[in-house]
Amino acid sequence: MFGNLTPTVKNLLLINFVVYLMGSFVSIDFVDIFGLRFILAESFAPYQFFSYMFVHGSFFHIFGNMFALLIFGPMLERFWGPQKFLIFYMATGLGAGVLYGVADYFEKSPAKTAMMTYQSFPSPENFNFYVNEHAEFAYKQLYDFTNEYYDNPDSEVLEQQSKAYVKQLYQTVANIPMVGASGAVYGILMAFGMLFPNTVLFLLFPPIPIKAKYLVIAYGAFEIYSELNRSPGDNVAHLAHLSGMLIAFILIKMWQGNRNTFY
């Protein structure tokens, strides 16, 4: 397997693992600095649309992404050549980050507006509404405080504390970073399924053969279902995965329609 590595895939594997190891042994929090933030967050920086692709939160995260790159990447690089493969990888990764950022903006900007509104109009009812609408994950932790605030609606101490809670809840949601090469990897999976649809792959779990096109459909359907039925503890960026697949689909259709383009 490793003897069949192509140069761009090998370099991408090396870069990702070096960054991961550096983040594990130095005191700098790479996820905090290089992860992609909500674009209205104080910690957002434009370079994060690029840097997030090379940062992973755990060994299993990087292993899953790099294993997929190892399996599907070399065949695509041989088909396109190193330069075009690298363009594809970067385009799907950057595109996934940008599309995720746009969707993230529309999802989280109402929380910022609601937070700023609450600072001007605090009340037990508005506090309970904010928690239920924008920070449901904290409902149980704040249950006793909410009841106490309802029982003492004129308390200035509870009012100030509620403002601090709302600001803290917003910052918690806004500052969750998105990391990993999954957008680019899912783009590679889409490309493989489109260009080599009838290639038979043998899955590990479950151990069955499946054609590449059906594997792509299954992954896409799973990501759509997971995004639409997101559970409270699900911190996977399913939308970034789908965005990578969408960018890949568009790129391949463009390249197939322009046979005079060479890289």
**CA 84 – CA 76 distance, rounded (Å):** 10
pLDDT score of 259: 59
Please list, in sequence order, all residues whose beta carbon lies within 8 angstroms of the beta carbon of residue 114, skipping any fewer than 6 positions away: 130, 133, 134
Residue 82 has pLDDT above 90, yes or no: yes
Q: What is the pLDDT of residues 197-224, one digit of tens each?
A: 999 988 777 788 999 999 999 999 998 8
Residue 45: strand, helix, or coil = coil
Contacts 24+ apart (CB under 8 A), 6-12: 6/73, 6/74, 6/77, 6/78, 6/82, 6/85, 7/77, 7/82, 8/73, 8/77, 8/82, 8/85, 8/86, 8/89, 9/69, 9/70, 9/73, 9/74, 9/77, 9/85, 12/69, 12/73, 12/89, 12/181
Residue 5 has pLDDT above 50, yes or no: yes
Q: What is the pLDDT of residues 137-176, one digit of tens each?
A: 888 899 999 999 999 999 999 999 999 999 999 988 888 8
Q: What is the pLDDT of residues 117-131, one digit of tens each?
A: 999 999 999 999 999
Owner of token pair 């992954």: 219
Residue 91 binned pLDDT confidence (cut-offs 50, 70, 90): very high
Q: Which is more confidently placed, 2 or 130?
A: 130
Residue 262 has pLDDT above 50, yes or no: no
pLDDT score of 127: 96
Residue 260 has pLDDT above 80, yes or no: no
For the chain, the straight-line distance linking the first and the last C-alpha, in angstroms and rounded, comes to: 27
